[in-house]
Amino acid sequence: MIDFANRERENSDGLKVGGHQASSASMVSIMTALYFNYLDREDRVSVKPHAAPVFHAIQYLLGNLDKKYLTELRTAGGLQSYPSRTKDPDQVDFSTGSVGLGAVAPLFAAVTRRYVDAHFGKRPSSRFIAIIGDAELDEGNIWEALADPATNGLGNVMWIVDFNRQSLDRVIPGVRIKQWRSQFEAAGWHVKEIKYGSKLEMVFSQDGSTPFKKWFDDIPNEQYQSLFGLAPNEARLRFLEGAPQGVSDFLKQFNDVELIEILTDLGGHNLQSLLEGFQECDLVTDRPSVVFAYTIKGWHLPIAGNPRNHSAQITGNQIDEFRSKLGLSLENEWERFGPGTAEDALCLARGTMLSRSEHLPEITANVPTSTSAKIGLKASTQEVFGRVLTEISRDENIRPYLVTTAPDVATSTNLGGFINRLGVFSHEQRRRWNEDPMLKWAEGPQGQHIELGISEMNLFGLLGQLGLSREISGQPLIPIGTVYDPFVLRGLDAFIYSVYSGAKFIVTGTPSGITLAPEGGAHQSTITPSVGIELPGVVLIEPAYGKSLDWLLCDSVAHVAGSKIDTTPDLRPNELAFYFRLTTRAIDQTPFQDAIARIGEATIRSQVLAGAYRLVDGRVGLKNDDGKFSPVIHLVGCGAVMPEVLEAASELKNEGVIAHVIDITSPGRLYGSWQRTLKQGIRTANTPSLPGALRAIFNERAPIVSVHDSSSHALAWLGSALGAPQVAMGVDSFGQSGNIPDLYKIHDLSSGSIVNGALAALSLNS
Ligand SMILES: Cc1ncc(C[n+]2csc(CCOP(=O)(O)OP(=O)(O)O)c2C)c(N)n1
Ligand SMILES: [Mg+2]
C-alpha cells in the first residue's frame, strides 16, 4: 500500500506521500496476534499512528474495508495517514497521530466504562487496548494519565509497547526498560516483558548459555541495532565486541546465518510468545497491564534497524524481491487469501467474530430551554453556572446522564451545588471523615462527579472519552468539565484531540481574563477566546448576564444530549463542544431585564443563542434626536466588561452620540455563521450575504468598538464582517495583580478609554 502510494500512483504535486514502512513492519506481528486471535468483539483498540496501513490491511482481510481503498492510502477521501475515527472509512476506535494522546485514550475510555457500568448496569465487558510506539513514552501526558487515581485499578486495560528501541531520528540510547518498568509499577501497573522469541529461548535453555544471555541483555542498544545492516559474518564480530569471556566460545556451535537468526529473534515477532503474554495480562484483573514487546523497526525489510529508517522506503527492486519472496505477483498482490484456504477461513471467522452492531442508543429526555435558577440583582456568570447546572440536575429525566469532572477545581468553579446533590464518583464506597456542612463530598459508585488531580490534560482526555461514551460504550452521557480558564491551554492538545475524535461535551473555563484581578498575571487568560473561536467543532460562549447563560447552558446540554428540541441544527452544523468562558465578577442584571422588556423574551432568547443581541438601543430616549445629524456607533462588548461598555454608552449619549450596545454572547457561533455565509459565497461565486444573526443586530451602518477581556484579536473580525471601521479593544499584554478599576485602566478597558475608542472609530469613519 505504501509503495503503491509513493511509487506507482500518479503524483500531481511532486510531494513525497510517505507512509512509514519500517514502523508498520515493526507492528505486523503484534497486530496479527491481536486481530487474528486475541481480540473479542467488545474490545476497543488504539493503534499507534504509524501503523495505520497495517490496521487498514487487516480490516481489508477481515472483510471490513473495500479493496479500492488499498490503493488510496493518503488520498483525499481515502485512507488517512494516521487512524481517524471521523475520517477513515473503516471502524477506528480511537484516533491517533499526536503521539501519547492516542495511547491514553483507551485508559480514559476504561474510566468511562467503569462509570457507565456503575450507573447504568454492567454491559458486556471490553478490554481497552493501546498499541503504542516506545517513543510515545517520552510524552508527559502518558505519565499524567497513569498517575491519576481515577485511572487506578483498571484490570481491563492493556498497553502494548512496540519496543523497537527506535524513534524518529535515532536509535534510542541505552535501553530504558528498567526505568519504564519501575515507573509503571510505581503507578500500580502490571508489567510484562516479551523479549525473546522461541529460537532465543531454546538457546538460553542450553547448558552454558548464561554468559550469552547476560550479554544479550547487556549489549548497548545502538550496538545491537547495528547488527541488522550487516552480513552474517560481520554480525557475529559486531555482536562479540565487548562481550565477556565465554560468549564467543558458546556461540561457535552456530554458523553465521543461524546466529543472526537467533540474535534477531525477538519476542515481539513471535505469535506464541505474544499470545501467552496477553493471556497472562488477562489474569491480572485488579490493575492495568503494560506489555513491552521487543520488536525490530523494519522487520523483514532491508531497512530493518537502520537508524534512518523512520521515513525510508524500500526501492523498486527491493519491493520486487519482497513480493516474490512472499509468493505474490503483480497480478495477485491485492487479492484476499484464496477461497477455501485455511487463511481465508480464519479471516472469515475472525471478521464475523469482530463485527459489531451499528445501533447506538439515544437520550430521549427533553432538556428544558430555561431553568428557574435564582439570579440576584448582581450576579456573576460563574455563580449562575453552578445554580443552573444544579437546577438542570433536578430534572429526573436528565439527571442520570449528567457527569461532571474537574482537575481539582470543582468547588472553586462552582460545582459544589451539583456535587452536594449528586456526590463524587468512586468505584468503591468511601467513608466520609470530614463533616463539612457546606460540601457533602460523599464518594461512591453512584456519585456523578469525577474529581481528577491537577492535570488539565487529564481533564480533556477524560472529557473526550466521556463525550464518546455513546460510540465506545453504548451509553450516551452529558459530560461537563470545569477548569480555570488560563489552564485550558495546559490541556489544549487533549482538547483538540477530543474534538478531532468527534466527542461531544461542555467545558467551562472560569474565572477568566484580567477581571480575576488580584490573582495576577499567571492566572489571567487572554488568548483562550481565540482558541475557542478557532477550534473546529468548538463553540465559544461568553455571556455577560445570568439569564442569557441559563438559556445558553440549557441549549448546550440539549445539543450534547442529542435532543431534537429547539436546537436549529441547520444554523449550527458541526457543533461538538461548548466552551463557556465565565467570570467571578458580579454585575448588575438590570440592563438585561430592560432589554427583555424592550425586545421580548422569545426574540432576545433566539438572538442570545445565535450569538448577539442589542442590549441598548442608542436611539431610545435620546434627547432632541432628529436622527439625522447625530453620529452613530456600535459599542460591542463581550462578558465581564459590560458595565464599562454601558457606562461608556451613557457618556457618549450625553455627548449626543447614538451609541448602540451589542452584547456578544457567543463570539464562536457568530464567527462560525459569518464564515459559513462567506464560504457559501466563495463556492458559488456569488456576493456573500451577511448571516441573519449579524444582520438583525447591526441594522445600521456605523463604526464599531469591540471591548473584550481577552486579546483584542478575538473580536477584531467584526468590522470586516460588517464593512465598517473598527477599533478593537482588549488585553494584549500579560496581566498583573490589582483591583478591577486599576487593571481596566492599565489595559484600556475603563469606560473613559472606551469613549476614546469610540471617538477614534468615529474619526476613522469620517
Ligand atoms: C506529539 C508528536 N510529536 C512529534 C511527532 C512526530 N513523530 C512521529 S513518529 C515519531 C517517533 C515515533 O517513534 P515510536 O513511537 O517509537 O514509533 P516507531 O516509529 O518507532 O514505531 C515522532 C517524533 C508526532 N507524531 N507527535
Ligand atoms: Mg520506536
Cα(360) to ligand 1 centroid in Å equals 34
103 ligand 1 Cβ < 6 A:
no
State the pLDDT confidence band at 569, using cuts at 50, 70 and 90.
very low
Strands 587-588 and 378-379: antiparallel
**Cell 451545588 belongs to residue:** 417
167 ligand 1 Cβ < 6 A:
yes
How high is the pLDDT of residue 176? Answer: 81
Average pLDDT, the chain: 94
State the pLDDT confidence band at 621, using cuts at 50, 70 and 90.
confident
Q: What is the DSSP string of 133-168?
A: EGGGGGSHHHHHHHHSGGGTT-TTEEEEEEE-SB-S
Q: Given the CA of residue 166, which atom of ligand 1 is nearest to it?
A: 20
Cα(503) to ligand 1 centroid in Å equals 24
- Ligand 1, from 168, 295, 296: best to mutate by most atoms within 8 Å of Cβ? 168
Cα(65) to ligand 1 centroid in Å equals 26
Q: Given the CA of residue 139, which atom of ligand 1 is nearest to it?
A: 1
Which of the pair, 490 or 679, is modelled with greater confidence?
490
CA atoms within 13 A of residue 685's CA, in its CB half-sphere: 0
133 ligand 1 Cβ < 6 A:
yes
663 ligand 1 Cβ < 6 A:
no
- Ligand approaching nearest to the C-alpha of 50: 1
- Ligand 1, from 50, 132, 225, 306: best to mutate by most atoms within 8 Å of Cβ? 50
How high is the pLDDT of residue 691? Answer: 86
Q: What's the pLDDT tens digit per position in 479-515?
A: 999 999 999 999 999 999 999 999 999 999 999 999 9
pLDDT at 568 over 70: no
Q: What's the pLDDT tens digit per position in 354-369?
A: 998 878 899 998 899 9
Q: Given the CA of residue 51, which atom of ligand 1 is nearest to it?
A: 21
> Hey, CA dihedral for 411, 415, 421, 424, is it positive or negative?
negative
In angstroms, rounded to a whole number, what is the distance separating the alpha carbons of residues 678 and 684?
Answer: 10
> 339 preceded by cis ω (within 30°)?
no
751 ligand 1 Cβ < 6 A:
no
Q: What's the pLDDT tens digit per position in 204-255?
A: 999 999 999 999 999 988 899 889 878 999 999 999 999 999 999 999 999 9
Q: What is the DSSP string of 693-712?
A: HHHHH--S---EEEEESS-G
Assess contact for 403 and 480: CB atoms under 8 A. Answer: yes
Helix (H, G, I), strand (E, B) or coil at 657: coil
Nearest to 134 by CA among 155, 159, 110: 159
Mean pLDDT of 706-714: 98
How high is the pLDDT of residue 303? Answer: 92
How high is the pLDDT of residue 403? Answer: 98
Q: What's the pLDDT tens digit per position in 270-283?
A: 999 999 999 999 99
How high is the pLDDT of residue 393? Answer: 97
Mean pLDDT of 574-596: 97
Going across the sheet that includes 402-407, the strands are 443-444, 424-425, 449-452, 402-407, 478-483, 505-509, 577-581, 538-541
Helix (H, G, I), strand (E, B) or coil at 505: strand
pLDDT at 605 over 50: yes
**Cell 457618549 belongs to residue:** 652
- Ligand 1, from 167, 171, 299, 492: best to mutate by most atoms within 8 Å of Cβ? 167
Q: What's the pLDDT tens digit per position in 437-489?
A: 767 788 999 999 999 999 999 999 999 999 999 999 999 999 999 999 999 99
Give the list of residues 6+ apart from residue 216 with CB closer than 8 angstroms, or none: 200, 263
How high is the pLDDT of residue 623? Answer: 62
165 ligand 1 Cβ < 6 A:
no
Q: What's the pLDDT tens digit per position in 638-651?
A: 999 999 999 999 99
In angstroms, rounded to a whole number, what is the distance separating the alpha carbons of residues 422 and 392?
Answer: 12
Mean pLDDT of 313-333: 95
Question: Looking at ligand 1, which residue's alpha carbon is closest to its atom 8?
Answer: 168
In angstroms, rounded to a whole number, what is the distance separating the alpha carbons of residues 44 and 471?
Answer: 11
Q: Given the CA of residue 26, which atom of ligand 1 is nearest to it?
A: 21
Which of the pair, 552 or 305, is modelled with greater confidence?
552
Nearest to 251 by CA among 313, 194, 305, 208: 208
Nearest to 165 by CA among 260, 299, 55: 299
pTM above 0.75, yes or no: yes
Q: Given the CA of residue 167, which atom of ligand 1 is nearest to it?
A: 13
State the pLDDT confidence band at 567, using cuts at 50, 70 and 90.
very low
In angstroms, rounded to a whole number, what is the distance separating the alpha carbons of residues 715 and 636?
Answer: 9
In angstroms, rounded to a whole number, what is the distance separating the alpha carbons of residues 312 and 303?
Answer: 7
State the pLDDT confidence band at 402, using cuts at 50, 70 and 90.
very high
Provide the Cα torsion 463, 465, 470, 472; round to 10°. 180
Nearest to 608 by CA among 538, 529, 662: 662
- Ligand approaching nearest to the C-alpha of 51: 1
Nearest to 132 by CA among 218, 46, 259, 12: 46
For the chain, give the percent of residues with pLDDT over 70: 97
Cα(131) to ligand 1 centroid in Å equals 13
166 ligand 1 Cβ < 6 A:
yes
